[in-house]
Amino acid sequence: MRCTARPDLQLCCAIGVVIMVGLLSSPVAAQFDTTRVASGLSAPIFATHAPGRPNSLFILERGGAIRILNKSTGLINPTPFLTIPDTDTFFEGGLLGLAFHPDFDTNGRFYVNLTTAPSVAGSALTTRIREYTVTDLINNPNIADPTPKEILSIPQPQGNHNGGWIGFSPTDGNNLYIMTGDGGSSNDSGTGHTTGSGNAQDLTNNLLGKALRIDIDGDDFLADNTRNYAIPTGAGGNPFVGITGDDEIWAYGLRNPFRASFDRQNGDLYIGDVGQGSREEIDFQPANSTGGENYGWRLREGDIATPSGGVGGPLPPGAVDPIYDYLSFGTGDFTGDSVTGGILYRGPVTELQGKYIFADFVDNHIWSFDPADPDNTVARINGDLTSNLGFINNIVAFGEDTAGNLYIVDIGGEIFRVGLLGDLNADGFVGIADLNIVLSHWNQTVTLGDRTQGDAAGTGDGFIGIEDLNVVLGNWNAGTSPGTPPPHTPTNIPEPATSLLFVGILGTLTPRPKKPPPRFTHPPHTSQRPITSPPGSTLLNQRTYPISTGSRQHKRA
C-alpha cells in the first residue's frame, strides 16, 4: 500500500513498510536502472575491478592513464592510479587492456596491454604486456609504482587489429590470457603477414591472431629481461607444447579480438571478434577446454567463407564456428559494423542473470542472449538501459565491479552502471546502507541524479525526499549475487542509528518544493558528434566522422 497524504504521514507509512519488509527471509526480484557514474573522461576504453577493492572501479583512458572511480563518493580520484607516458595512440593503438593479479590484494601486481612506438624497423607499433605494482597497499593504495616490468612484446605490422584484452580466468590460477589481432590491413595479407595462410592460421613464430596463455608467476627465459613469464606445461598445459606451434598459443584463427571476458561463475570464455565486412562474431570456449581451438580466420568470417580477397574457404578440420554472428553493413536492429564483446551477467539484477550482454560500437545497438540458444533468444535491449543522465553510444567495453554490477564504457567520455534500482552504494543489495544514504541527505538539494547522495527517483531532481525513499523501499531486500551469502543480516531491521534518524526526520520534515525537475535532452542519433575510429577500422586516429554517415566503408581496409 502506498501512502499519498501529507509527507509526514508518508514517512510514517514508510517506517511501517521498513519493519514489515525487514521480516522477509529471502531477496526479491527487482527492477534495475542505468546510471551515469562518470563523465568528462579522456577517451575511456575499459573498466574493471581489483581483488580486495570493492569500492573502486579502475578506468583506462586510451592516452595512457588509469583512473579510479570511488563508488562511495561518485568521484574520480584527482591523481591517476598510473600514467604510462610512452603510450602510442597511432591508428587503433593506445592503452587497451588491464587485469589485476588474482592475489593483487596481497602482492599489489597488475598488468596492462598497450602499444608503444615501433621497436622493429618496418612495423607500425609494438604491443607490450607489462607488469606494474602498488608497493604500499596499506598507506598508499591508490598510486602505483610507474616503473614497468616487461612481460612480452609483439611487433605490429600495421596500426590496426591490435586486439587489446587481457584477463585471468576465475578457474585457472595465475595464467594470464592475452588476445592479439592479426596485425592489421585486410584479408590478413600483405606486408608483415604470412604468405599463403595469413598470421592467424600460422602457428610457428607468430603470436598474431591468437589467444595466448602464459604463467605470470614463473620465468622460463631468465636470460631475456624482455620475456618474464613461463609456459604452462604438464597436465592442463598449453596445447602446442612439445609439438609444432608456438608454446604461448592457447587458441588461434582470430582477426581482431578487441574485447573478451570470462564468466566469473564458471570460467567460460567469450570472445568478441571484429569482422572485416560481412560478419561480426562472438566466439566461445568452455572452461574445461584444453585449448587449441581454431576460430577460422582468415578462411572464415563468422560462420561463412570469407567472401573477399580470395582467401575464404571451407571450415578447417577441427575449427569452431562462432556461437553467434550478425551481418555487417546491414540495416535494422540486428546488424552492425564493429562488435564489442561483452559480459556473461552474474550480478544482482534478476532479470539479467545468465544473459550474455554485448554491443556494436558503430550502430550503438546493445543486445543480450541466452548462451544455451543465442540465435533464438537474442534481443535488442537499448530501451531497458536508458540512462538517468547522458546518452550511451560508441561502446568500447563492458566491465564488472566486485558486486557484479555491469558497467558500459563510452569512448566519448562517459561510464554507465547497470544496477538494482535503489542500490545507491552499488554493493549489489538494497538495504540499510542505501536507506541511510537517503536519510543522511534528507530534505537536502544534491547533485542532480547523483545516486551516491540518495537521488534515486527516476532521472532525479536533485532533492532528497519521499520519492527517493520509496525507490529504496520498493526494492527492499533485493539483490545478492547467486552463490554468495547476503551482504547484510537477513532480518534487515533498522539499526538503532537509523531508527533515531527516522525520529529526527518526523520533527523536521518539510514538503518537497513544487517545481518541475530539470530536463536532460538527449542528443539525436544523427548528431554530428565526432568520434574516433572503431576497433577494426582503417581510419587514421585523428580522423573523425559523423554518426549519421550514410556510408560506412570507413571500417575495413
pLDDT (tens digit per residue) in 75-97: 999 999 999 999 999 999 999 99
pLDDT given for residue 458 in this prediction: 77
Q: What is the mean pLDDT of residues 380-392?
A: 96
The pLDDT of 498-505, averaged and rounded, is: 37
Q: 278 pLDDT exceeds 80?
A: yes
What is the largest distance, in Å, between two alpha-carbon atoms of the chain? 81
Averaged pLDDT, 548-554: 34
The 8-class DSSP code of residue 365 comes to: -
Q: In what order do the strands lie in the sheet with 406-410?
A: 32-38, 414-420, 406-410, 395-400
Q: What radius of gyration, in Å, describes the C-alpha atoms of the chain?
A: 24
Helices (H) and strands (E) in the chain, counts: 6, 28
Name the more confident of 376 and 458: 376
pLDDT averaged over every residue in the chain: 86
Helix (H, G, I), strand (E, B) or coil at 380: strand
* Average pLDDT of the segment spanning 205-209: 98
Could you give the dihedral angle defined by the CA atoms of residues 93, 95, 96 and 101, in that order, rounded to the nearest 10 degrees?
Answer: 150
- The whole-number pLDDT of residue 329 equals 92
pLDDT of residue 554: 36
Could you read off the pLDDT of 125-178 as tens digits, one per residue? Answer: 999 999 999 999 999 999 999 999 999 999 999 999 999 999 999 999 999 999
- Whether the CB-CB separation of 378 and 369 falls below 8 Å is answered with yes
Question: How far apart are the two ends of the chain, measured CA to CA in Å?
Answer: 61
Per-residue confidence band for 296, with pLDDT thresholds at 50, 70 and 90: very high
- Nearest CA to 351 among 406, 416, 394, 414? 406
Which residue did the predictor score with more confidence, 19 or 131? 131
Please give the domain boundaries of the chain with CATH numbers for all domains: 7-28+427-508 (no CATH), 33-420 (2.120.10.30)
Calculate ∠ Cα 379-384-390, nearest 5°: 125
pLDDT, tens only, 99-131:
999 999 999 999 999 999 999 999 999 999 999
CB atoms within 10 A of CB 424: 27
* Residue that the C-alpha cell 572452461 belongs to: 287
pLDDT band of residue 482 (cuts 50, 70, 90) is: very low
Confidence category of residue 30, pLDDT binned at 50, 70, 90? low
Confidence (pTM):
0.87
If one compares 26 and 339, the residue with the highest pLDDT of the two is 339
pLDDT > 70: what percent of the chain? 81
For residues 237 and 231, is the Cβ–Cβ distance under 8 A?
yes
Q: Is it the case that residue 8 has pLDDT exceeding 60?
A: no
377 by Cβ neighbours in 10 Å (0-12 / 13-18 / 19+) ranks as middle
Q: Compute the Cα dihedral for 371, 423, 46, 138 and give only its sign.
A: negative
pLDDT band at 460 (very low <50, low <70, confident <90, very high): confident
- Asked if residue 192 lies in contact with residue 158, where contact means CB atoms within 8 angstroms, the answer is yes
Nearest-angstrom CA–CA distance, 352 and 485: 19
Q: Is there a contact between 330 and 527 (Cβ–Cβ < 8 Å)? A: no
